[in-house]
Structure 1
Amino acid sequence: MATLTKSRGKKFFDKFTAVSVKIGNEIHLRSLRDSFAVIMPLFILAGLGVLMNNVLFPQFAHGQNLTNLQLWGNNITNGTLNIAGLALAPVIGYTLAINKQFKNGILSAVIALASLIIMMPSSIKLTTLKGAKNTLVTGGLSYTNLGTTGMFSGIIIGLVATELFIWFSKMKHLKIHLGENIPPAVAASFNDLIPAIFTLSIFALISTLLVIYGNTNLIDLITNLIQEPLRKFNTSLPGMLFIYSVGNFLFTLGIHQTVINGTLLDPVLLINMNKNMAAYAAHKHIPYILTYTFRDVFGMVGGTGCTLCLLIAIFLFSKMKSSKDIASLAVAPGLFNINEPVIFGYPIVFNIPMMIPFVLMPVVGDLIAYFFTSIGWMNRVVVMVPWTTPPLLNAYLCTAGDWRAVLVQLLIIVIGVIFYIPFMFMSEKVMQKTAQLQQ
């Protein structure tokens, strides 16, 4: 009976792992993950601008001098957060084309960008300074659509436009052959001329029909019907913790957590993070507790699974030389939230006792930080810091200099150490018995 149960359990884990790997390697999701990695420096730079404008500059400048200095951060915001959707579409077009081994990745990026612009409304309602009436201005684009709000539109249009363009490009009868002795760049552009025309014409037709018959545009439809419902579920406390835990569990099976989190969670958490940064820069109410940086700072202390807590537990309480040796090697990268030496060296992977705290401790950390943020004891996260920023410093910076966030992270570390201790002892006993059996 026990053997049968074990066999069924193994089959379930094998199937679960296979499905997860298949999802993570799906070409569109992989392209999405690659694209976010490309534009991540924009978001980190935006966080730097917000931090300088609202924390550093006010320390020594006031009045008009402060306003002049803050133009620097405002310009950074315009070139980062306020073009997030605009930047995402062509990057996705390029990465998808490369992943599909399509020869003209640059043109794919241009087509994706052009398609996004075509679908954007060209008329904008502006409120006068006195707020008395709205003025309709034509021939302009809004930062609202180009920036964070337009990120999901950039994703969907970037993927669809690139797929359409590649599909048309594979049709031989749509190619224009100019003969020999033609520069390769010119020949390539003419080869893809008709597919490009067809792709952009389809998006132009859709945009026209939406305006004529629906008095709307695709950007608003995507935002209201897809982006907001998905964001609300995935960034709800239960939704975020569940998806994040599934990703962390996969890591214990040797599959990197970004397979799940990088595709299902990171995009929507980034939207929340960017909106928080924009609101803080504009001195408005900070809308969200759960963001990309919140999850990392309070749920990834020392890396996925809060393994810095495990390293501290090993140094303080472990009596196994091999464990202390691994911890000594892993502590330096662990201080910068790089924990592969622990995951594969201790190991966490396929170590049944260690799977439990590795999956649950991030949940505990995020819940603790969520509680203190929700009651107003700690500032909301408003600055995106690089994920390699050391613990304690990252808590201070991401909350724009709130020392209480540092205390909360210290509390999480203490609880994490206590939480890891019994599982560490259990794991070491298993290691010792395994070593004895092998001898």
Structure 2
Amino acid sequence: MKKFMEILDKYLMPVAEKLNNNVYLTVIRDAFMLVLPLIIFGSVFVVITNLPFWSKDQMAVLNNYLGAANNSTMSIMGLFVVFGIGYNLSKHYKIEAVYGAAVSVAAFIILTPTVIKTPKGVSVDSVLAFDRLGAKGLFVGMIAGFLATEIYRRIVQKNWTIKMPEGVPEAVSKSFASLIPAFITLSFFLVLRIIFMFTPWGNMHDFIYRFVQTPLMALGSSLPATLVAIFFTQIFWFCGLHGQILINSALDPIWRSLSLENYQAFTSGATHLPHIVTKQFMDTFTVSMGGTGMTLAVLVGILIFARSKQLKELSKIATPPGIFNVNEPVIFGLPIVLNPMIIIPWILAPMVVTAITYFAMATGIVPQTTGVEVSWTIPIFFSGMLATNSLAGGILQLFNFTVVLLIWLPFILTIDKQYKKAEKEAKEAIEKAKNRSIKNENNLTT
């Protein structure tokens, strides 16, 4: 175990630090956090519209009234992500963030086709399709956001700007200062659009979707890649680093794209959804079972089986927040961080449960996640039902909960035994000290 810890410290920690300090991964994370409240808003109305007891006619009526909620949020999530990338990256470079964000969005729109074909094959001009602003265009949007901001900020930092005289209102001065950088940046994207018009794909969207996004989504949706992501998430947490931030920053764009495609299929009435692994798969059936490492089952195991005072007190403190998937008390209180005694269940349990969930959905026992955003603080069982729009999703979470408990139980009992022994020795040492003190007092009085 000592050698294993040395390997982690030598090879893994430097990589983790680089990932944690990477500007682009941080910007991606913050951009997705920007859209989170919008996605949750849209998801609530998708759930309401698609409750199992509605008839098809009732669903159609509800969708007519409530459909704008998800169409204006989830369906065009890529547009908000581009804005977030431009804004946060501009803030990092200490330039006007709003203008950087606006230029990024404009660059994305320039690259987006404005002609769509109806089901009857009729071409309609001057239209932006939802899928181009959502799942299908997410990677183009991210490329456009980063590239546009980088070009824009370099021009600003070279002082290729129009400087207005003193006394001009600040808003006017900033607007003119951004004129030349914005003009050059957007001209670049206009040329890029024209170049792609002469390619077999016709636009950058279809090129990126075919040669970049589709292969990455295929890789990210596979069980082996998912297990690798879970493994490193657990390892980083074991080392005291925030595994979700490090891993999700890199993989969130893939998982979000998979979620959006499931969402579009679900809202269109498809009976089979295209992907098993999605953002909701990763969150609802791992994090939303007591937090990272599914530690709610660990706390329940401690409540039932542990006899040591230390573990009993820990369970009393950590269980209430653990119900809502906040598990820092148990991670640092057990502790889990750098505790070689628990590294086996800490890594094994999430990987086993992830495999069980994957096969349950692959075989049709449990429906796949619909792409509806489920807040990570929603307790177990309820989050599973919301994510899959099915009672089976909640039942699967309870089954997985039991599996985690069984994997952890031998280790809980071992830790409890050690703590009881330590407590007994401490108590005996105190008693001996008291007896020695009493004896010394008696000797003095005599």
> TM over 0.5: same fold?
yes
1:8 CA drift (Å): 8.1
Equivalent position of 1:38 in the other structure: 34
Q: 1:270-349 to 2 correspondence within 5 Å?
A: 270-284=256-270, 285-300=272-287, 301-349=289-337
Tell me, yes or no, if the aligned pair for 2:284 and 2:374 is still in contact at 8 Å.
Answer: no
Q: Does 2:193 correspond to 1:234?
A: no
Please give the alpha-carbon distance, in whole angstroms, between the structure 2 residues aligned to 1:215 and 1:13.
47
Equivalent position of 1:90 in the other structure: 83
Equivalent position of 1:99 in the other structure: 92
- Taking a change above 3 Å as real, the CA distance of residues 62 and 283 of structure 1, as seen in their structure-2 partners, is closer
Q: Does 2:191 correspond to 1:205?
A: yes
Q: Does 2:415 correspond to 1:427?
A: yes
Q: Deviations over 1:230-250 (max 9, x none)?
A: 111122111011012101210
Q: Deviations over 1:166-208 (max 9, x none)?
A: 0111112x12122211112221222221111110000101111
Tell me, yes or no, if the aligned pair for 2:78 and 2:133 is still in contact at 8 Å.
Answer: yes
Match of 1:248 among 222, 234, 257: 234
Equivalent position of 1:408 in the other structure: 396
Q: % of aligned pairs identical?
A: 31
Q: Does 2:13 correspond to 1:17?
A: yes
Equivalent position of 1:123 in the other structure: 115
Q: 1:151-190 to 2 correspondence within 5 Å?
A: 151-172=138-159, 174-190=160-176
Tell me, yes or no, if the aligned pair for 2:307 and 2:420 is still in contact at 8 Å.
Answer: no
1:47 CA drift (Å): 2.4
- Taking a change above 3 Å as real, the CA distance of residues 346 and 215 of structure 1, as seen in their structure-2 partners, is closer
Q: Deviations over 1:131-175 (max 9, x none)?
A: xxx122222211121112111111111111111110111112x12
Please give the alpha-carbon distance, in whole angstroms, between the structure 2 residues aligned to 1:18 and 1:190.
44
Tell me, yes or no, if the aligned pair for 2:43 and 2:74 is still in contact at 8 Å.
Answer: no
1:35 CA drift (Å): 0.7
Tell me, yes or no, if the aligned pair for 1:153 and 1:222 is still in contact at 8 Å.
Answer: yes
Equivalent position of 1:131 in the other structure: none
Equivalent position of 1:399 in the other structure: 388
Return 5+ residue gaps in structure 1 as ranges: 129-133
Between 1:369-378 and 1:316-325, the stretch displaced more is 369-378
Equivalent position of 1:387 in the other structure: 376
Q: Deviations over 1:98-128 (max 9, x none)?
A: 123x230000000000000011112222222
Equivalent position of 2:251 in the other structure: 265
Please give the alpha-carbon distance, in whole angstroms, between the structure 2 residues aligned to 1:41 and 1:159.
23
Tell me, yes or no, if the aligned pair for 1:23 and 1:259 is still in contact at 8 Å.
Answer: no
1:431 CA drift (Å): 5.5
Please give the alpha-carbon distance, in whole angstroms, between the structure 2 residues aligned to 1:334 and 1:328.
10
Please give the alpha-carbon distance, in whole angstroms, between the structure 1 residues aligned to 2:61 and 2:409.
53
- Taking a change above 3 Å as real, the CA distance of residues 6 and 360 of structure 1, as seen in their structure-2 partners, is closer
Q: How many residues are matched?
A: 423
Tell me, yes or no, if the aligned pair for 1:115 and 1:161 is still in contact at 8 Å.
Answer: yes
What letter corresponds to residue 99 of structure 2 in structure 1? L
Return 5+ residue gaps in structure 2 as ranges: 430-446
Please give the alpha-carbon distance, in whole angstroms, between the structure 2 residues aligned to 1:151 and 1:245.
26
1:433 CA drift (Å): 7.6
Between 1:91-100 and 1:402-411, the stretch displaced more is 402-411
What letter corresponds to residue 168 of structure 1 in structure 2? I
Q: Deviations over 1:222-269 (max 9, x none)?
A: 211111111111221110110121012101111001233221222211
- Taking a change above 3 Å as real, the CA distance of residues 340 and 127 of structure 1, as seen in their structure-2 partners, is same
- For 2:325, what is the secondary structure of its paired residue? coil
Q: Deviations over 1:42-78 (max 9, x none)?
A: 222332222111116x54x663x54222223421221
- For 1:148, what is the secondary structure of its paired residue? coil
